[in-house]
Amino acid sequence: MSTYIIAEVGINHNGSIEIAKQLIDKAHKAGCDAVKFQKRTVDLVYSKEELDKPRESPFGTTTREQKYGIELSMEEFKELEQYSNDKNLDFIVSCWDLNSIDDIENNLNVAYHKIASAMVTDIEFLKKIKDTGKPTILSVGMSTIEQIDKAVVNLGENCKYVLACTSTYPTVPEEVNLKNIDTLSNLYPQPIGFSNHYNGLDACVGAVALGAKCIEFHITLDRTMYGSDQSASIENVDQLVQGIRNMELMRGNGNKVIYNSEQPIMEKLRKVSNA
């Protein structure tokens, strides 16, 4: 089973459809399987008090201006979905509120709904996602096993992947906790994957070595660009995807065999003792 590789554009497009297309091109060129975006109804996700707070950004001086500035319109989502599908990339969206689920369902045909770690405990949200009938990917950062159990039950058979995750941006090495992939594999029948917020390549490659069946990572054109997720994103997407594909080969099947390529070396160097 080939690892399903998701390049998360997220909000790294900074509200620009042209930057979004450049990131889709980057994912396609590298050989990813899917791209993922995020959708919010700003006034539902954030309180008026939060939106009124001062915040300097390319879009203005308040949090409201910043949040609206990085949101894409539904027409832009439609264009990006078509652009992605034309490149044989699955189009995935993480919704952050109930209205956004309706917007996505009424206007797009996403390959998967993605549950962000922040939404794991929102049972009403999970049930609405389940009611869409679409396959779903669940990230489990910031969650206890009990909370994950409840989320998996509420998503039912629509839950196709469970992704180990640490919800810090960027994640420090000692908190990546790749062995959690083994833990989750022993608890859930779904294929287990890894959602990356570490800013190097080795966490994703290591996750594949431990058996992850789905890898999700943020991508960027340049980590120095404006945006809260840029520092936890991957620039060298080609190199990372190649590393993942190489690790799939190197992981092997676990059987101890003598390879045909070893035979000449064995005949040349092996010493057999009858003692």
Q: Does residue 173 fall inside a structural domain?
A: yes
Strand-pairing partners, residue 218, are: 8
Q: How confident is the model at residue 25 (pLDDT cuts 50, 70, 90)?
A: very high
Q: How confident is the model at residue 274 (pLDDT cuts 50, 70, 90)?
A: confident
Report pLDDT digits (tens) over 37-48: 999 999 999 999
- Cα separation, 174 vs 152, whole angstroms: 27
Q: Does residue 274 fall inside a structural domain?
A: no
Is pLDDT at 275 greater than 80 in this prediction?
no
User: Domain residues for 257?
Assistant: 4-269
pLDDT score, position 112? 98
pLDDT score, position 66? 97
Q: Does residue 116 fall inside a structural domain?
A: yes
Q: Does residue 275 fall inside a structural domain?
A: no
Long-range residue pairs from 138-146, CB within 8 A, at least 24 positions apart, any chain: 138/162, 138/163, 139/114, 139/115, 139/163, 139/165, 139/195, 139/216, 140/164, 140/165, 140/184, 141/117, 141/165, 141/166, 141/167, 141/195, 141/197, 142/117, 142/118, 142/167, 143/117, 145/187
The CA distances from residue 204 to 57, 200, 218, in Å, are 31, 8, 11
Report pLDDT digits (tens) over 65-80: 999 999 999 999 999 9
Q: Does residue 126 fall inside a structural domain?
A: yes
pLDDT score, position 11? 96
Structural domain tally of the chain?
A: 1
42: CATH: 3.20.20.70
Three-class DSSP labels, 131-153: HCCCCEEEECCCCCHHHHHHHHH
The CA distances from residue 147 to 70, 123, 151, 173, 267, in Å, are 30, 10, 6, 24, 57
Report pLDDT digits (tens) over 91-129: 999 999 999 999 999 999 999 999 999 999 999 999 999
Q: Does residue 254 fall inside a structural domain?
A: yes
Q: How confident is the model at residue 271 (pLDDT cuts 50, 70, 90)?
A: confident
Is pLDDT at 59 greater than 90 in this prediction?
yes
Which of 17, 231, 10, 251 has its CA nearest to residue 139? Answer: 10
Report pLDDT digits (tens) over 214-257: 999 999 999 999 999 999 999 999 999 999 999 999 999 999 99
Assess contact for 219 and 12: CB atoms under 8 A: yes
Which of 72, 79, 88, 75 has its CA nearest to residue 35? Answer: 88
What φ, ψ does residue 155 adopt, rounded to 5°? -80, -25
What pTM was estimated for this model as a whole?
0.95
Q: Does residue 178 fall inside a structural domain?
A: yes
Q: Does residue 157 fall inside a structural domain?
A: yes
pLDDT score, position 1? 74
What φ, ψ does residue 117 adopt, rounded to 5°? -55, -35
Report pLDDT digits (tens) over 125-171: 999 999 999 999 999 999 999 999 999 999 999 999 999 999 999 99
**Residue entry with tokens 């287990």:** 192
